[in-house]
Structure 1
Amino acid sequence: MEIRTLKAEDFDAMIRLGEYAFQYRMSAEDKENARKRFSPENTWGIFGEEGELGAKLVLLPVDIFVYGKKIPMAGIGGVATWPEYRRQGLVKQLLTHSMKVMNESGKLLSLLHPFSFPFYRKYGWEMFSDYKKYVIPTDKLPAKEMTDGTVRRDITDIAILNQVYEAYASGFNGMMVRSEERWKHSILDDEGHTAVYYSPSGEPQGYLLYKAEKKELLVEEFIWLNEESRRALWTFICNHDSMVTQTVLAQMPANDGLTYMLADPRITQELAPFGMARIVNAAGFVEEFAFQGSGEEQSWTVQIKDPYAPWNEGNWQWTLSAQGKASATMTDLDENTQVQCDIQTLTAMMLGYKRPMELWKMGRLNGEAEAITRLEQAIPVGQTFLLDYF
């Protein structure tokens, strides 16, 4: 069987496989629009002896924020196999091949949304983000508050929305850098509304993406940069109280603290895992990472297990400058490594989803207590979050 990128003439076969695997139908108009946006160079497939497409996946090249820095990432989506080709290791082959492609093209991280967490954990991905969903009856919404500034409805200027989004997203690990095309085709739609908060000086400082239908206000994105914008947008939501019986916040950070701020916190809330991540190139990622310097140089010997990315596997010397700049070099030291972990644990730790000491107590991160304590101090505290689906 042959693994290669798709060609323009493979588009229809790709759509047929996607429709079958994910059980949907595209209209003729949607199909033609998708054809215009089709990037065959980012779609990989396995083809049988007769040239038929057996399985495929899409690589989405995009940066994500990690401790405020933009890190090159490739998202994996659209993974699908015809039933007659399943249980033959085709997806394993595609994932293994994709790892090499991502590494050779300079991607340091990969994200995906799994159909099965155990399946993708086998290949080095790990859960890295949760979100909260709230269902709030109208009589339990926050109190309305008068604020300075203005909320303007149905602002569709992508530059304004993206300015606010990036300022917000840079404060979380895992948030995608959105292109104009993504805003147009994946975020905004004709059925939804926007509401943008402007400060008294005219600066956009928060926004909502929402829909109101069937007596429910569905808030798909609630983005605020300061307390004033948060209060103003909540008041805008509350001003729908005569129209709706409940408000649903579809996706909020796991630590947003909303219930603490409600007069009656007994509302429906759901905590859900959302997305998996994987370090593609451990040395490159460590050298780009925003460590906290201790004022003096320090180092760790780290053993990494990663059978599906052999360039990561082995013993490494991490050296951290007094200012927090790191270098990572392969070492021949086979004994007395100070820290040992697999690539899944390393990913969860470096993205801030789990702290080093927490992982050490779980038995996921092994090593000397002194070395783990220094890692705890060197890795800044961060919050993971992901809004985008791909």
Structure 2
Amino acid sequence: MTQRTADKVARLNMNDVVIRSLEKRDMPRAIEVWSTAFGFTDVNRWHNFAFEVSDYVVGAFIDDCPQALATVIMFDMHFNDRWIQCGGIAGVACTPPMRRRGLVKTVLKECLTRLHKEKVEVSALWPFSFPFYEKMGYSITDIQYEVTQQIASIPEVGDSSAYKAVSLNEFAHLLPVHERWTSMFNMSLTRNASRWERQLARPERQFVLFQHQDGYMIWNLKNPKDRTLEVVEWAFLTEKAFHDGLSLIKNCGQLAFDKAKWVMPGLEPFLQLGVSFPPAKIEIRHGMMSRIVNEDAFFKNSGLESFAQPINDPLNISGSSTDSEALGPGELLQIATGLTQKPGQENAAPLYRSAGKAQAFSIEQY
């Protein structure tokens, strides 16, 4: 998506703040902003992130120096058995002297305004602060469960040989399963080949891959904490793929690892195995936050046209912030996917689970 928009100028104290797209000439200072915020200083990786991974980067500039940045990465999102557009927000950062001055909000609003103009239905992000993004109209749209289990207490339920080791440069073998996996959930995002390559080339991790007929596993072997095997991603489309994966993990006990941890969209497959001793540690985690961007495109393309209604948007992008009786742009997604209910509101009751019975689960990290 090419973004050619006129620069916008705002005032902050005595400074003119220019809101515009990041250009290559801005990269040395932009890398300083990102490196300070995230503690990651790989120049080539940041350059790749800005101009190859991202569709565009929006910045707030003072004296032609970036003070706040946010990137937009376009995905296809599975929702209500359809695929709609999602503008993923990433790389949100601000220089320390200019934080808490409204620059990040201004940059995010510009990103959403551009997405609205392009008739993009939804935006999503992984938040650094839930309350902050709630003020931007985003809401938590899935709940995830991190399970940490003593390997010795994992029951013998599957066949580990059903998983085969796959080299990192043969990740394409996993793509068909990944596509089937994302199609099982609401709010899941596609992952193309270039994003697979980026995910598997993260320098802070050492990955190994295992492929199953109905699943796959990605393990991180680098710097394990407390002798715990980190299963970074586990796709299992069937109960057998889950049981076979448990058997594979169990085979790693006693040597390098005592425990394993993994993330699940729901606990039922695990709880069906019964009580173990010592019991597994289960942590409930908030997943991605999302919101509607272009309300007309969303209701039309999501199959929820009959549920179209006004939206109370604090940023005045997909609705008016003065309509206090209306649902928020993220809240509406929560209700449509069945993540939460809103009792007592006539406009919420028929919308509940209108996006079908598929569970919401955000797989993609960006």
In structure 1, distance between residues paired with 2:354 and 2:157: 42
Conservation of the 8 A alpha-carbon contact between 2:336 and 2:354: no
User: Which residue of structure 1 lines up, in the alignment, with residue 180 of structure 2?
Assistant: 167
Q: Deviations over 1:296-316 (max 9, x none)?
A: xx956734211413443499x
Cα contact 2:158–2:243 (8 A) shared by 1: yes
| 8 Å contact from structure 1 (residues 127, 275) kept in 2 | yes
| Equivalent residue, structure 2, for 1:196 | 211
- Structure 2 contact 151–260 (Cα < 8 Å) conserved: no
Quote the offset at 1:72 in angstroms. 0.6
Deviates more, 1:124-133 or 1:345-354: 345-354
1:15 aligns with 2:27: no
- Check if 1:46 corresponds to 2:22: no
Maintained 8 Å contact 1:67/1:171: no
Structure 2 regions of 5+ residues with no counterpart? Answer: 1-16
Q: Once the 2 structures are TM-superposed, how far is the Cα of residue 256 of structure 1 from its aligned partner?
A: 4.4
TM-score normalised over the length of structure 1? 0.79
Listed one character per residue, the Cα deviations across residues 97-146 of structure 1 (whole Å, up to 9, x for unaligned) are 11110111231111112221111111110111121111111221121434
Secondary structure of 2:60's aligned partner = strand
Q: How does 1:53-202 map to 2 (within 5 A)?
A: 53-146=66-159, 150-156=162-168, 157-187=170-200, 191-197=206-212
Partner of 2:22: 6
Q: Distance in 2 between matches of 1:53 and 1:246?
A: 46
Instruction: Tell me if the contact between 1:164 and 1:207 (Cα under 8 Å) persists in the aligned partners.
Output: yes
Given candidates 312, 322, 327, the residue that maps to 1:305 is 312
Q: Which of the two has higher C-alpha Rg?
A: 1
Q: Closer, same or farther in 2 for the Cα pair 1:256/1:163, shift >3 Å?
A: farther
- Give the secondary structure class of the aligned counterpart of 1:168: helix
Question: Which residue does the alignment assign to 2:362?
Answer: 386
1:314 and 1:125 mapped to 2: Cα distance? 14
Contact 1:144 1:238 in 2 (8 A): no
Cα-Cα RMSD: 2.8
**1:282: how far off?**
1.8
Counterpart position of 1:350: 336
Q: Deviations over 1:328-387 (max 9, x none)?
A: xxxxxx9xxxx8422232121123322xxx312xx5xx22xxx65543474422311113
Which of the residues 191, 212, 217 maps onto 1:208? 217
1:166-315 correspondence to structure 2 within 5 Å: 166-187=179-200, 191-197=206-212, 204-212=213-221, 215-264=227-276, 266-290=279-303, 302-313=309-320
CA distance in 1, matches of 2:97, 2:273: 53
What is the alpha-carbon distance in structure 2 between the residues aligned to residue 139 and residue 377 of structure 1? 40
- How many Å apart are 1:35 and its aligned residue? 2.5
TM-score (norm 2): 0.84
Letter in 2 for 1:247: K
For 1:74 and 1:178, the matched residues in 2 are separated by: 14
Instruction: Verify the 8 A CA contact 2:33 2:94 in the aligned structure 1.
Output: yes
C-alpha distance in 1, partners of 2:74/2:128? 21
Matched pairs, number: 341
Structure 1 CA distance for aligned equivalents of residues 99 and 321 of structure 2: 33
Once the 2 structures are TM-superposed, how far is the Cα of residue 188 of structure 1 from its aligned partner? 5.3
3-state secondary structure, aligned to 1:248: strand
Structure 2 residue matching 1:302: 3-state secondary structure:
coil
Q: Which residue of 2 aligns with 1:200?
A: none
Could you tell me how far apart the structure 2 residues matched to 1:373 and 1:41 are?
A: 37
- The equivalent of 1:325 in structure 2 is none
